[in-house]
């Protein structure tokens, strides 16, 4: 998505550890117009997949997921990162190691919001080593929900995440694909 690539070039800051900071429009301050256009793009890409529900992880996945849900007219569920002290029996859970925060969170989804009737589109802000997506795969598997695809705002293709998704035979669509951060610059896949 050209508009997104241009915005990353303009506002993205490369941090040590192959982390891209995009606090200007995605991870802290949010640009709703750009987010809405992402929602339209996800809707276009996945329009033939007969999706019934969109799933993401709090917090930065929520905005692109809601925008896609708005355009596709589908409900959006976000996995919570903080353990509920009550109703533990009614939750699907999975442990997820966070690439940026270097901690393991137990993510959870209430069983009433995900069933074996659901055909799911997973959306997240970044794809690095695929731990967040794997956590949602585990939750969908526990619920018996069918995974129709994964939509990512920014994929870092030099990390392992895409392999996990492709090995499972799931369709992956990323709106921007970063191939390297050589010389602290963002380089996109297919760029000269």
Question: Which residues lie near ligand 5GP (CB under 6 A)?
Answer: 19-22, 27, 60, 98-100, 124-132, 161
For residue 71, the tally of other CB atoms under 10 A from its CB is: 18
- Measured CA to CA in angstroms, residue 27 lies from 72, 84, 114, 119 at distances of 23, 24, 26, 27
Q: What is the smallest separation between the CB atom of 15 and ligand 5GP, expressed in angstroms?
A: 8
CB of residue 96 to ligand 5GP, shortest distance in Å = 7
Please say which residue, 92 or 137, places its beta carbon nearer to ligand 5GP: 137
**Tokens representing residue 128 in the block:** 């690095």
> Residue for token digits 């959006």?
76
Q: Is the alpha carbon torsion for 59, 4, 161, 64 positive or negative?
A: positive
User: Considering the complex, what minimum distance in angstroms separates the CB of residue 86 from ligand 5GP?
Assistant: 26
List Cβ neighbours of 138 (8 Å cut-off, separation of 6 or more): 94
**Of 90 and 150, which CB lies nearer to ligand 5GP in the complex structure?**
150
Cβ closest to ligand 5GP, residue 118 vs residue 124: 124
Which single residue is written with the structure tokens 């919570």? 80
Q: How far is the CB of 146 from ligand 5GP (least distance, A)?
A: 22
> What residues form the annotated binding site?
20, 27, 128-132, 156
Cβ 101 to ligand 5GP shortest distance, Å: 8
106 vs 136: CA distance, rounded Å: 11
Task: Compare residues 117 and 160 and give the one whose CB is closer to ligand 5GP.
Answer: 160
Q: Which is nearer to ligand 5GP, 104 or 115 (CB)?
A: 104
Instruction: Give the annotated binding-site residues for xanthine.
Output: 20, 27, 156
Angstrom distance (rounded) from CA 41 to CA 20: 22
Give the residue ranges of the annotated binding site for 5-phospho-alpha-D-ribose 1-diphosphate. 128-132
The contacts of residue 6 (CB under 8 Å, 6+ apart) are none
């Amino acid at each position: 998505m050209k508009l997104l690539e241009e915005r990353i070039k303009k506002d993205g800051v490369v941090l040590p550890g192959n982390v891209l900071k995009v606090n200007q429009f995605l991870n802290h301050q949010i640009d709703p117009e750009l987010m809405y256009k992402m929602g339209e793009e996800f809707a276009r890409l996945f329009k033939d997949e007969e999706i019934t529900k969109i799933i993401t992880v709090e917090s930065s996945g929520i905005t692109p997921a809601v925008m896609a849900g708005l355009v596709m007219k589908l409900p959006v569920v976000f996995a919570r990162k903080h353990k509920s002290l009550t109703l533990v029996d009614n939750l699907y859970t999975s442990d997820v190691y966070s690439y940026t925060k270097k901690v393991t969170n137990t993510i959870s989804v209430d069983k009433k919001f995900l069933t074996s009737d659901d055909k799911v589109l997973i959306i997240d802000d970044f794809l690095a080593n695929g731990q967040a997506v794997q956590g949602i795969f585990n939750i969908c598997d526990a619920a018996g929900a069918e995974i129709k695809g994964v939509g990512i705002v920014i994929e870092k293709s030099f990390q392992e995440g895409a392999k996990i998704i492709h090995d499972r035979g799931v369709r992956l669509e990323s709106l921007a694909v970063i191939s390297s951060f050589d010389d602290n610059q963002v380089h996109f896949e297919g760029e000269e």
